[in-house]
Structure 1
Amino acid sequence: MPSKKICRCGKLIDIDEIMCPQCKERKETKVKEYNKQRGSSYERGYDSKWQRYRIRFLKQNPLCSECLKEGIYTPSKTVDHIVPHKGDMKLFWDRNNHQALCKRHHDINTAKEDGGFGNGA
């Protein structure tokens, strides 16, 4: 069984590694830059008012809406913006733009919208 594989940049790496150290460093730098431009969660509107709203919304919507479509009963953990608000506070607070999701479905939606964490759309 081979103990090496090829990184996306073409370098040979150990089979249990995801990428070479140089690619990993480039990705970490890109994520840090993305997060710096994005601002903190508080700056994006996820403040104490949102936290109180989130708790009420999840009590009213205790199951993941995507799992329910599949006939699976999974507790919701996040309030997802159906249409990304991108800083538009009217859209941010639009109750018709919110859905309750489990972590798995929220992560899937976020990756689709953002092109993967920190990768931009």
Structure 2
Amino acid sequence: MPQAAKTHRARAQPTKRRDYRKTAAQRGYGSKWQTARKRFLQQHPYCVGCDKEGRVTLANVVDHITPHRGDDKLFWDHGNWQALCRTCHNRKTGSGR
């Protein structure tokens, strides 16, 4: 005679990595950053990544060339910033959003 299937508990949903991250404001990307970012993109409107490949694309991301890892001095160092389009930024950071 066939037996009924055993009942199982539902698997716990894996916690997403971003649940552990601080908010953007806690990581330094608050209103001061938004103002600086906007000004930087006005002064550097084109993506440097696309420019190196001979394309002209408007930039919409200010990227830290060297990751700041919470270092405020490096975070605010304009010499460590570059204007990128989202595609180039995702390629650089390895995220395929």
Paired AA for residue 78 in structure 2: R
Please, which of 69, 72, 88 is the counterpart of residue 86 of structure 1? 69
- Which whole-Å CA distance do the structure 1 matches of 2:81 and 2:29 have between them? 14
- The structure that has the greater radius of gyration is 2
Give TM-score scaled by structure 2 length: 0.80
Q: Which runs of 5+ in 1 are unaligned?
A: 1-21
Q: How many residue pairs are counted as aligned between the two chains?
A: 85
Instruction: Determine what percentage of the aligned residue pairs are the same residue.
Output: 49
- Which whole-Å CA distance do the structure 1 matches of 2:31 and 2:72 have between them? 15
Give TM-score scaled by structure 1 length: 0.65
- Which whole-Å CA distance do the structure 2 matches of 1:37 and 1:93 have between them? 24
Give the equivalent residue in structure 2 for 1:66: 49
Relative contact order, higher structure (CA 8 A, sep 6+): 2
Instruction: Please give the secondary structure, in 1, of the residue aligned with 2:82.
Output: strand
Q: As a proportion of its length, which structure holds more helix?
A: 1
Runs of 4+ in 1 over 6 A off after TM superposition: none
CA-based RMSD: 1.6
